Each structure stands twice: as structure tokens, then as C-alpha cells.
Structure 1
Amino acid sequence: MSSLIIVSGVLVSVLIASLLNLLSPAKLFMIGAATLMLSGVLSTQQALGGFANAGIFTIAALYVVVAGLRESGATLLIRRYLVGQPSSPGQLVNRILPVTSMLSAVVNNTPVVAMFTSLTQSMSKRFNIQLSHVLLPISYASILGGLCTLIGTSTNLVVDDLMRDALGHGFSLFELSWVGVPLTILGLVYLKYATPLLMPQRHGTREQFEETREYLVEMQVAGNSELVGKDLKSAGLRNLPGLFLVEIIRNEHPITAIDTNTMIEAHDLLVFAGNPDSVFELQNIHGLSLSNQQRFKLNAHHTERRLFEVVLSQSNPMVGSTLKKSRFRHQYNAVVLSISRQGQRLSGKPGELELQAGDTLLIEAQKGFLFRYRYSRDFLLVSKLNNGLQVDSSKAGVTLGIFVTMIVASGSGVLPIFHSALLAAAAMLVCRCISFEDAGKSIDYQVLIVIACAFALGQGVQVSGLAETLSGGLLQYATTPLLALVAIYFSTQLLTEMITNNAAAIIMFPVALSTASSLDTNVAPFAVAVMVAASASFITPTGYQTNLMVMGPGGYKYLDYVKLGLPLSTLVAIVSLTLIPMVWGF
């Protein structure tokens, strides 16, 4: 009984902390797993067993494979041939959504959504496309595509691995297609016709950031200015109301790494961001005047600086703090020019605004910023505002060959997905489709830690008897296999909106297993229900990573996810709960 109370307390604590966003998911689940181990509920081997799980290594290998596809230009090649050159907005949408689902069925959906988000942004003006009518459907299309195969999402792999541990057998690569493909087709039809009706026209961050040029001003320091020889603090330039010093241009070279001790020299150009009305206050300073050549523009090309759009992830350590307190400038060697949240560009000084997950930042940084932080877990999306990234596609054919071989080998049953993924990742490295450094950076270690620690919580649910207790309570009301399947599905869906989808699946699987055992029915339909419900997160921006990724670029508000996602979630639930018993049977 004591172990049951401990496990229940840990789960409730993790849920509450997740909802309040007190700590990152990785930290929360590590604390939860450690608590179960130190309290004696789990042995050391049970608590740490998730780190030796084959599913963890399969997911890590697939991260490398997907990164190889992206780095070699293979994904761009696929996009070019499948999307082509559409001639109208309708044609563009008709091509992008199915291609997004197709790619997401076999590769991680995060880079797919990032790729099509950038593509849609770049083509929006050409085709007069409302980004709010396209970007969220792209995220939803990627989620639906991930339901079609075993490697479509990490959740599918995790549940399959749990099935193999419990019963000695799992699912084949394309077995889930019996449910995933009909869901995807119906979902895409819904998105095509419902989005224009339910989704209002929103201004994305790029439209908002275009207005930022009105807030940038360049001031010239005269040789006899009272500021010459003073540092920024003593000159009174660090706490100006409504203004923020972005950088100093000295002898045609920008200085972005400035602090309160930076000295001002004669003929410096001081670049400020903020309210234009505050410029009059600057002109009251002796020897400081408005530059006749306002060269600092958002569309200006400079040999050393670039403008980037980044979306903050939930795991970014600066979430909940301000740019000033978190020392964003020194951490990333970049300057924030503007911040957008829930479809609105925030007013005030960027350095004093408290950051939230999903915030979209317009930053100025050195041209190497994209290469340094494109794999960073701090950002969901990093894209350059001007020109797209040029990729060397000389290895694209080799990479595609390796990838197709992996799919054929695992799909035909010649090799398990674990072995084929590891061999494909190794082949990517040997053939130099991706460097060892980029391969290491491409692995999302935060996700792997959450999954490994969630295995410990799942073990706790099982060994403490909590799974039997919950299934017993469930069976008091759901007395038939179909009703039990419905209860498992919606319980998993509710849980996945509160915590990560992988953790929800791992915690609910023991309950599903116990329920199937009590009813003396096939476990497979319950396992598939857990897979679908854990991934089918459409109602909130935080339920799935790609939903949060498109929030800023599309200018979405929380209510937009409910308006478009709730009917889709209902459609997916009805179709899934109808097809699952028909395909696998009780």
C-alpha cells in the first residue's frame, strides 16, 4: 500500500509541476524516477532500465538518419520534386499538406514542419497566402502522418517496445497504416475545407517584424559630444525609457557584444530600438544627432550580421526570465530586436519582457548563428529572414539510398527496426552524409531522458499495483472491451495534454495491459489506442512540439487551437475507435 501511495504522489506531483511549468520535463521525470528508486519502490536496475532500452537507441539512431537526410539536401530534393512549382495558393496547400504527412510517416516531424514553415513563409507574398490558414494545418498534417508507421513518432516505437517486453511480439513497420492512412486522408480533407472557415486571418511574426524597422534609429556621436570617453552606464544610455541600445557601429564594423562598461568613441554610430517618440530625448544630448544615412534596416545586407527568427522551446532556460536577467546577449552573442507572442508583437523594451515558451524573437546575430544553434534544444525553430540556407546536395542520392534500404529492410522483416536504424545511422556517418559533430547535435537528448525516466514511472505504476487499481476502477464503468478501449483512449489523450506524449503513453500502457488482462482480451487494440491518443494532440499549442513551433510564425492564439483542433480531435477519436477493433479485434 505504501508503494502505491508513493507512486500516486509522484505522478500527481509530476502532473501538477508540468501544468505549472515549474521545471523542464527532463528534470521533472528525473526527479520522479530518483524518488521511486530512493524510496525503495523500484530497484536501481528497474529505475535505470529505461536507459538501456532498445527503443531509446532506435530513436537516437533515427535522429541521426533524419539529420543526414536534412544535411545532405535529400529532404529539399524530395520537397522540390513532390511540391514542385505551384501556380496558385490552393495548389500550394493541396501539395504541401499531403507531402508533409508522407514525409512525417517516415521521418521525425519536427524538421519536416520547420522546412515547410520556412517554405510557406518565403512563398506567402508571392501567392498572397494567409500563413494562419496554412501553418497550423501543416503541424496537424505532420501529426497525422506520424500515425501511419511504426517509425512515424517516437511514441509508436516506445509502445511497440513495451509490447515486445510484455508479450514477446510487437507491430510491423506498416501495420499501423490500417488506422493511420484513413485518419490522415480524412484529416487532410477536414483541414482543407475547415481551416478557411474556422481560422481568422492573423498577422504572423514576419509581418509584425517588418514594422520593426520603424523602431530602429541610428544616432551619430560628434567629436565634441559629452558622451565621448564615457561608458554606457555613466553616459545614461542603458536605461532609457522606451529605447534599447542594439549595437555600436565603429569604423564600419558592428559591435554587438556591448555591456555597461563599453566606452563610447567619437564618430560612433549608436543603433537604438524602441519607440520613435523617444528619439527626441536622444537629440537633447549634446553632440548626439540623428544620422543622415539611416543604413540600419531590416532588409539591409551586411557582411557580418544576419537577421534570424527563433521560437523559444519549453526547455529554454530563459523561459520565465527576462532577456536582461538571463543575459541573452552574452549567452547567444545576439541582440533581440522584437518579441512576438500569440499573434501580437509585444510593446516595450525587449530586455525587460518576461519570456514564455513559444515566443518568437527577431534577433540580429553573426552569420554563423544558424549553424551553431540549428540543433539547439533552446529553440524550436531557427530561420534566417533573408536568404535560405544553401545546402550541398552532392550526397543526397547516397543518403536517399541508405534511407530507402532501411525502410525496405525493416518493412520486409529482414531486419528489426532497431538493427536497420543503427546500420542506417552508421552508414550515414561512414559515407560522410553527416559529420560526427552534427550527428551528435541532432540527437534530442532531452526527449531521450524523458522517455528513459518515464519508463521508471511506468514500472512504478506496474509494480506498485496502481495499474490494477486504475484498471479495476475503470472496469466498474467500462464493462465491455469497447467501452474499456474508449476509456483508455480518452484517459491517454487527457494525460498527453498535460505532460509529454511519450510519458503519457508509457504511464498508460501498464493500465491498458492490466485492463486487457482483466477482460481476457487482445492487448493489441489497447496498445494502438494508446499510440494514437498519445500523439493526436491538436487542442493546445503545448501538447505537441510542432504546434508550439508554428504559433509565432502563424500569429496564432490559444483559442485558434481549440477552434480548429477540437473538431479534428473528435474526428480522429471516432474514426480510431471504430477502426481499431475492426483491424485487430478483441
Structure 2
Amino acid sequence: MNIDQLLVMLVFLCTVMSLIFSKKRPASIFAMSMLALVILQQITVDSILNNLTNNGLVVLVLLLLVSHSIDKTTFIVRLGQAIVARSYTKSFWRLFTVTFGASALLNNTAVVASLITPLKHNQYHPASKLLIPLSYAAILGGTVTLIGTSTNLIVDSFLLDHGHAGFNFFDFTLFGLTAGLGCGLLLFLLSPFLPALKSGEQEIKSYMLEAEVELDSPLIGKSVEQNHLRNLPELFLLEIVRQGKSITPVSPDDIIQKGDKLVFSGNAQKLDTLEHINGLSTFAQTSGLLSNNLTEVIISNRATIQGKTLKQVGFRALFDAAVVAIRRDGEAISGKLGELTLQAGDFLVLATGNDFAGRENLKKNFFIVSEHKIKRKLTQLQERLTLLGFLLVIALAASQILPLATGLLFYIATLTVMKISSLTEIKRNLPLNLIIVIVGALSLANALESSGLIAMATSYFLPFLAQFSPSYAPIFALILIYFLTVLLTEFVTNNAAAALMFPFVYGFVTAMQLPIMPYALALAFAASASFISPYGYQTNLLVFSASEYRFSHFAKIGAPISLCFAIIVLSMLVWVYF
């Protein structure tokens, strides 16, 4: 082993050990690896810049940027509200079907992030009975198509970097769909072993929020339960004000009528949940004011507005703001928001206009507590354009009519023109950390190959495989690659595991003169198969943080799921390719 090989080996081992034992972000670790390789003259700056233009990396970045626009739609929110039922069996299969299907086309991390809150606040089942299945369904669904998970695109980027054609859109589908359905059935059979944990949520200060049923609302004529108004995150339907009369408590069977005022109690920062329900208007909207910013204030003891209602004050004209929620400590309040008598010490959440900050009467009436950014509601036209446009791009790419990168680029441009997204949002959502991880991994792979370390490792490995018959050696190599990658992905992130293993996989396959496709697929599936540890995959980490889970909860359910997934994927790869 010469000096160059020793230096590259040292950088590689330090990278792996840092990923396993260090608490630093993978992006920081790979950035230091690149810097070390440049200083040691094992790679050049030109090669790093060349890795930045890798087609697979470009597609991944564009997909992540697009996912932020899709997340603005009510599609996933509406699905989430319809998932939970009284029956756990029905809830489980609804959850699995929605998450599995959505994760095949959308970013599976975004899908899980959108569904966590409705599941946490459902009224029928402990959240811990649903959150692990949510994460596992997202992982399984992500393996069905090329774009389902970033891991698939990372392996694709390595194939392209080595001069191969890369994956087709549906190369994963046969294997991922079969393994996903099989593991879904096993997960349901194991669901009695999921823990029933109490939620450790922080206490939320309950505000009163009001929303009005619009005249042409699709909610009209349906019950409260049919409209999923009892499963809203951190919001409870307190009463219905109908023709000046109050209906409380609200029954799940109460029918919504036009003109009803729905009064909710809960977290005012969940106002966007109400605004995203088709056919409901918040008090701010009916007052002629929409804003992405919420400002929380307290009414001063010197306020001129105390003792008056919002309508008497002419609040909208006086402050260029509309009250969307109110809270009064030590006293329950109810009734129509506009007719409540304001008191000193009342907390108000305001949707503010452009002139709000400049009004001279603010200091006389309010103490400003905080500001909160909420998601901007899309119009129906914008929602349809966002969803149908994305499906069109995917269909054109899947049928090989238009390259995925080209379609996504034009799609993002259309979203910007239609004001669904903006250049500021694109810059803010640029996944810089993931870019650094992939470019760093590509650069490390270049150094491993150019230094001859891959060839050396292959020369040690081939005599071991030579002990097997020619018909069994490729299969044994496939199994070994799969389980080594699974072992690595449970300790480091799925993306890092795929990136670190690919150069060795490619070296072995090339030396054995085997087709790359089954081994690349095995690598991609294995890197995503992080079921045992809550730290190996981002969806596991999301649900782990959202509940009171322990490591053992994942290990108990994840170990049989991981084994089932491995058996199905490897068996099918052998059946198709060998």
C-alpha cells in the first residue's frame, strides 16, 4: 500500500467513524472529507465542481424544491384527516395505503411530516400505535419508484457518474411493491406488539378561533364526523353558532348547515389548518384581510378598546388587522368572535395588513408578544395546477417522453410564474446539506477508485468468492452486499450508507464481470431498509421525536420487518436476474 492509498484510507475510515460516533451533521463530515482530500492532493477542485453537475443530483434537488410547493396544497392534509377511524384495523390499512402510495411519488419525509400531527391528535388510538407504521409505510413506499426516496436517486447519480444509463422510473416497482405489501401485512400482524404510550406534549394555551361555513361549502349537509372536524391537529370544535343560538357540546352526528359559525378551541398557530379546509372562512378572511403573518398581542389596561366588541370598535379599519383568535386566562369564552366584549389582559392573535406596524394607536392598546409565520393558502386553480402539473411531469418522465430534470425545471418555472412559489422560497429551501453529502460522497468515491484502493479490496475479496461454484458466487455476493449495506445504514444515514458502499460494490461487480443492475438495486433497497434503528432513516427520526418511543420499540418491530424485506427483495432479484 503506497502513501496515496494510506492517506485515502485514513480519510475514508475517519469519515465512517465520524458518521457512526460523532454527533456532527453528515454534511459537515463530508465537507471536512472533501477538504482533507483536496489538501492531500487526492482530488482536485475541478472534480468537485464536476460532481456538482451530476444529473442524478440535479434531479434530486429539483424534486426536493418541488415538494415544498406540493406541501402547500391540502392534498396530504385532507388524506390525513380521513385516515383515523374507530376501528384500529381500518385506521391501520388506511394509514398504510395512503402513506405507501403517496411516498412512491412524493418525498416520503414530507409525507410523514404532514401526517404526524393529525395522527398525534386523533381521538381513537394512542399515537404510538400509528407513528411507527407511518414511518415504515413511508420507507416501503419510497422504494417503489425512482423518485420515492433520495437514496434511489443517489445510487442513480453514481451510476450516471460511472458512465451507465442509470435507472428507469419503474425499475424498482416490481421489487418494491411486492416487498412493501408483504411487509405491510407482517406489520399489521405485529401491531399488537406496538406500545400504547401516553403523549408527552407540552401544554398548549387554548385560544378561541372562529370559522364560518360558506354558502356553497361542500361541508353542508354532512355530519361533523363525516367532515373530519373532530380530528383537527390541536383544535377542538367547541360549539356551533346557528342563527344566533349556540349548539354545545357538539355531537359527531350534528349536521353542518350554511352560515354556521364553527367555534374552535386550541392552538392559534394551527389557523392554517382551518384555512386549508375547503368551504370554511376564518374571521380574518371574512373581514377582508388575509396574511401569512400572525401577531400575538395582549390588550393593555389603558386600551381604549376595552369594554367594546370588535364590531363596535371597527377593529379592521382602526388597526389594519383582523382578530383570528382570542384567549382569556382564567375564564372560558364562547359565542361569536365579533360580538365578544374585549377586556384588558385578553390575548389576541391578529392577521395584520401592511399598515399595521405604522399605526400610532398600537402602543396605547396592545403589548406585542410574538409573531408567527403560517402557510399561504393556495387558490383552487393553483392547487390543481400544482398537483396535475407534477403528475404530468412524472408521467412524461416515466414514459421517457421528457427527461425528468427538464420537466421539473419547467414545472418550477411555471410554479414561480403562477406565484405558487417564489425565488425567495426556492433559495430558502435549497437542500444545501444534502448537496454537500452527495458531492462529498462522489468525491470520496473518486479518490478511492483513483488511488487503487477499490482494486486492492477487490483482489482480496475475489479469492473468497472463488470458493463457491460459478453459479452461486454472484448470488452470495448479492447477499453479502445487501447485508453489509443494511448494517451500515442502521449506524449512519441511509444516504451516507448508499454513497459509501457504491464504490466498493461497483469495484466488485466490475472485477467479477457481472451486470451492475441487480447489485445497484440491492444497494438502493438495502440503504433504505432502516427499520431497526430510529436514527438511520429520517422518517424514523421524525416519529421517534414526536412520541415517547425508545430504541427497543423500533428494534422489536423493525427486526422482523427488516428480515422479511430482505428475503423478498433478494429472492426476487435472484429470480429476475440470475
TM-score normalized by the length of structure 1: 0.68
Confirm or deny: 8 A CA contact 1:496 1:534 kept in the other structure: yes
Confirm or deny: 8 A CA contact 1:110 1:546 kept in the other structure: yes
TM-superposed CA distance for 1:18, in Å, is: 2.1
1:368 corresponds to: 372
Q: 1:452 aligns with which of 418, 436, 439?
A: 439
CA distance in 1 between counterparts of 2:565 and 2:460 reads: 26
**1:544-576 CA distance string (max 9 Å, x none):** 111111113221011111111111111111111
Q: 1:541 aligns with which of 534, 537, 542?
A: 534
**1:342-374 CA distance string (max 9 Å, x none):** xxxxxxxxxxxxxxxxxxxxxxx8351556xxx
CA distance in 1 between counterparts of 2:575 and 2:567 reads: 13
Letter in 1 for 2:370: Q
TM-superposed CA distance for 1:394, in Å, is: 4.4
Higher mean C-alpha deviation, range 427-436 or range 522-531: 427-436
CA distance in 2 between counterparts of 1:302 and 1:493 reads: 52
1:40 corresponds to: 41
Identify if the C-alpha distance between structure 1 residues 167 and 209 changes in structure 2 by more than 3 Å, giving closer, same or farther. same
Q: 1:408 aligns with which of 385, 395, 410?
A: 395
1:379 corresponds to: none
Identify if the C-alpha distance between structure 1 residues 503 and 142 changes in structure 2 by more than 3 Å, giving closer, same or farther. same
Identify if the C-alpha distance between structure 1 residues 398 and 294 changes in structure 2 by more than 3 Å, giving closer, same or farther. closer
Identify if the C-alpha distance between structure 1 residues 457 and 435 changes in structure 2 by more than 3 Å, giving closer, same or farther. same
TM-superposed CA distance for 1:410, in Å, is: 0.4
Letter in 1 for 2:372: G
Confirm or deny: 8 A CA contact 1:7 1:36 kept in the other structure: yes
Three-state SS of the structure 1 residue aligned to 2:348 is: coil
CA distance in 2 between counterparts of 1:4 and 1:143 reads: 37
Letter in 2 for 1:511: F
TM-superposed CA distance for 1:183, in Å, is: 1.2
CA distance in 2 between counterparts of 1:69 and 1:474 reads: 46
**1:185-220 CA distance string (max 9 Å, x none):** 0121122120222x22212233x64799xxxxxxxx
CA distance in 1 between counterparts of 2:83 and 2:19 reads: 42
TM-superposed CA distance for 1:541, in Å, is: 1.3
CA distance in 2 between counterparts of 1:393 and 1:90 reads: 34
Three-state SS of the structure 2 residue aligned to 1:71 is: coil
Identify if the C-alpha distance between structure 1 residues 484 and 505 changes in structure 2 by more than 3 Å, giving closer, same or farther. same
- The reply to whether residue 469 of structure 1 matches residue 456 of structure 2 is yes
- The reply to whether residue 139 of structure 1 matches residue 184 of structure 2 is no
Identify if the C-alpha distance between structure 1 residues 296 and 426 changes in structure 2 by more than 3 Å, giving closer, same or farther. farther
Confirm or deny: 8 A CA contact 1:49 1:452 kept in the other structure: no
Confirm or deny: 8 A CA contact 1:402 1:428 kept in the other structure: no
Identify if the C-alpha distance between structure 1 residues 130 and 474 changes in structure 2 by more than 3 Å, giving closer, same or farther. farther
| Residues 258-407 of structure 1 aligned to structure 2 (within 5 Å) | 295=330, 302-304=347-349, 366-369=370-373, 392-407=379-394
CA distance in 1 between counterparts of 2:519 and 2:449 reads: 16
Three-state SS of the structure 2 residue aligned to 1:498 is: coil
CA distance in 1 between counterparts of 2:537 and 2:68 reads: 20
Letter in 1 for 2:405: F
TM-superposed CA distance for 1:423, in Å, is: 2.1
CA distance in 2 between counterparts of 1:294 and 1:77 reads: 33
Letter in 1 for 2:198: H
1:193 corresponds to: 189
TM-superposed CA distance for 1:392, in Å, is: 5.0
1:103 corresponds to: 102
CA distance in 2 between counterparts of 1:20 and 1:574 reads: 30
CA distance in 2 between counterparts of 1:412 and 1:513 reads: 28
TM-superposed CA distance for 1:477, in Å, is: 3.2
Confirm or deny: 8 A CA contact 2:299 2:347 kept in the other structure: no
- The reply to whether residue 505 of structure 1 matches residue 498 of structure 2 is yes
CA distance in 2 between counterparts of 1:410 and 1:110 reads: 22
TM-superposed CA distance for 1:248, in Å, is: 12
- The reply to whether residue 113 of structure 1 matches residue 109 of structure 2 is no
Q: 1:203 aligns with which of 169, 190, 198?
A: 198
CA distance in 2 between counterparts of 1:168 and 1:15 reads: 27
TM-superposed CA distance for 1:455, in Å, is: 1.0
Letter in 2 for 1:64: L
TM-superposed CA distance for 1:138, in Å, is: 0.4
CA distance in 2 between counterparts of 1:60 and 1:409 reads: 19
- The reply to whether residue 556 of structure 1 matches residue 549 of structure 2 is yes
TM-superposed CA distance for 1:250, in Å, is: 8.8
CA distance in 2 between counterparts of 1:252 and 1:413 reads: 67
Confirm or deny: 8 A CA contact 1:475 1:484 kept in the other structure: no
Three-state SS of the structure 2 residue aligned to 1:477 is: helix
1:362 corresponds to: none
Confirm or deny: 8 A CA contact 2:59 2:404 kept in the other structure: yes
Q: 1:169 aligns with which of 153, 165, 169?
A: 165
Confirm or deny: 8 A CA contact 2:494 2:527 kept in the other structure: yes
Q: Percent identity?
A: 29
CA distance in 2 between counterparts of 1:108 and 1:482 reads: 32
Letter in 1 for 2:426: A
Identify if the C-alpha distance between structure 1 residues 568 and 164 changes in structure 2 by more than 3 Å, giving closer, same or farther. same
Gaps of 5+ in 2: 207-295, 303-327, 333-344, 352-368, 467-472
Q: 1:149 aligns with which of 138, 145, 162?
A: 145
CA distance in 1 between counterparts of 2:70 and 2:346 reads: 30
- The reply to whether residue 565 of structure 1 matches residue 558 of structure 2 is yes
- The reply to whether residue 62 of structure 1 matches residue 63 of structure 2 is yes
Confirm or deny: 8 A CA contact 2:128 2:195 kept in the other structure: yes
Identify if the C-alpha distance between structure 1 residues 79 and 493 changes in structure 2 by more than 3 Å, giving closer, same or farther. same
Three-state SS of the structure 1 residue aligned to 2:71 is: helix
| Residues 230-249 of structure 1 aligned to structure 2 (within 5 Å) | none
Confirm or deny: 8 A CA contact 2:299 2:346 kept in the other structure: no
2:420 corresponds to: 433
Three-state SS of the structure 2 residue aligned to 1:134 is: helix
Confirm or deny: 8 A CA contact 2:19 2:26 kept in the other structure: yes
Three-state SS of the structure 2 residue aligned to 1:202 is: coil
1:88 corresponds to: 87
Identify if the C-alpha distance between structure 1 residues 430 and 75 changes in structure 2 by more than 3 Å, giving closer, same or farther. farther
Letter in 2 for 1:146: G
CA distance in 1 between counterparts of 2:89 and 2:506 reads: 45
1:422 corresponds to: 409
Confirm or deny: 8 A CA contact 2:109 2:538 kept in the other structure: yes
Identify if the C-alpha distance between structure 1 residues 88 and 520 changes in structure 2 by more than 3 Å, giving closer, same or farther. same
CA distance in 2 between counterparts of 1:252 and 1:537 reads: 57
Three-state SS of the structure 1 residue aligned to 2:22 is: coil
TM-superposed CA distance for 1:295, in Å, is: 3.9
Cα root mean square deviation, aligned: 3.0
Confirm or deny: 8 A CA contact 2:83 2:91 kept in the other structure: no
TM-superposed CA distance for 1:22, in Å, is: 4.2
Identify if the C-alpha distance between structure 1 residues 172 and 444 changes in structure 2 by more than 3 Å, giving closer, same or farther. same
Confirm or deny: 8 A CA contact 1:146 1:153 kept in the other structure: yes
1:122 corresponds to: 121
CA distance in 1 between counterparts of 2:380 and 2:74 reads: 5
CA distance in 2 between counterparts of 1:304 and 1:135 reads: 31
CA distance in 2 between counterparts of 1:205 and 1:391 reads: 33
Confirm or deny: 8 A CA contact 1:150 1:156 kept in the other structure: yes
Question: Whose relative contact order is higher, 1 or 2, with alpha carbons under 8 Å and at least 6 apart?
Answer: 1
Identify if the C-alpha distance between structure 1 residues 553 and 470 changes in structure 2 by more than 3 Å, giving closer, same or farther. same
CA distance in 2 between counterparts of 1:248 and 1:68 reads: 31
2:572 corresponds to: 579
TM-score normalized by the length of structure 2: 0.69
Gaps of 5+ in 1: 213-246, 254-292, 307-364, 372-388
CA distance in 2 between counterparts of 1:248 and 1:430 reads: 36
